[in-house]
Structure 1
């Protein structure tokens, strides 16, 4: 059975630099009827478990370490018996949320994760945060971008540990080099596509500077 994508939206808060905002986060579960990976565990471990169902979870993959993407990760990992994987450059953000519970393993650029007979490739895409990662499934024609790329532009870079020029470089060199028909599943809001977003890069640069 080919890999499929299951999706849920969970609501909670995002806090950084002394400010807190209400947010809705996408949860993506990629796999088949037997096994899957979870991409981000935002606000509620139980909400994610409902999407997973009875499947074996191979890993909980964190697109980055902001609290609204990893708050439920340790609880989910314990519940399903899976490791939480995070890029080491985002450990500083993880530790703000879970100072006494380290992630179980690390993500690395170029790493390949096989699930349901399909390969996920880790793309290190810093900018929104130092260790932000996207997950590209070439066979499925999709990329999970977390908060690096949204429908309508790049992720925010106005807070600590973020940088506009870096996120633009990541998008240009790591995402806009993917096939134009690639579907983009984001960390918040609607999905989009590489072909829909790539023509607007120069507009974003002008607006950002």
Structure 2
């Protein structure tokens, strides 16, 4: 069976630098009838577990460690026995939310994860957060961008540990080299394509 992509939207609060904002997060599940990989366990472990069902969870992958993307990860890991994977450069943000629970493994640029016979390549895309990553599934024609790239432009860079020139370079050098028809599945809101974002990028500055 070819891997399929499922989307679960969860709601909660994003907190950083003393501020808080109500947010809806996209949680992505990639897999088949037997196993699944979870991208960004946000807010509601029970709801995500319901979507998983009886399938084995091979990993809980964090695109970055802002609290709204990782706050349900330890509980989901406890419920499923799956390891939590995070790029080490985002440990500083992870510790703001989970100081007493470390991730189980590290993500690295160029690393490949496999679920249901489908490979996902880890692409380190700093800027929104120092350890931000995207996951590119060539066989599915899809890239999961977390908060690095949205429908309409780059993710926010106005808070601690973020940098606008860095996120622009990450998108230009790491994402815009992907096929233009690649579907972009984002951390919040609706999707887009690499081609659509490339064509609109001249107006970002």
Structure 1-normalised TM-score? 0.97
Identify the residue that residue 32 of structure 1 maps to in structure 2.
32
Identify the residue that residue 56 of structure 1 maps to in structure 2.
56
Identify the residue that residue 109 of structure 1 maps to in structure 2.
109
CA RMSD for the aligned pairs?
Answer: 0.5
For 1:131 and 1:191, the matched residues in 2 are separated by 22
Identify the residue that residue 160 of structure 2 maps to in structure 1.
160
8 A contact 1:36–1:115 mirrored in 2: yes
Structure 2-normalised TM-score? 0.99
For 1:39 and 1:117, the matched residues in 2 are separated by 17
For 2:46 and 2:36, the matched residues in 1 are separated by 16
Identify the residue that residue 47 of structure 1 maps to in structure 2.
47
Q: CA deviation at 1:141?
A: 0.3
Deviation >6 Å, runs of 4+: none
Three-state SS of the structure 2 residue aligned to 1:78 is helix
8 A contact 1:7–1:51 mirrored in 2: no
For 2:8 and 2:40, the matched residues in 1 are separated by 11
Identify the residue that residue 179 of structure 1 maps to in structure 2.
179
Q: State how 1:73-112 maps to structure 2 within 5 Å.
A: 73-112=73-112
Q: CA deviation at 1:45?
A: 0.5
Q: State how 1:120-159 maps to structure 2 within 5 Å.
A: 120-159=120-159
Identify the residue that residue 71 of structure 1 maps to in structure 2.
71
Three-state SS of the structure 1 residue aligned to 2:129 is coil
Q: CA deviation at 1:155?
A: 0.1
Which blocks of at least 5 consecutive residues in structure 2 are unaligned? none
Which blocks of at least 5 consecutive residues in structure 1 are unaligned? none
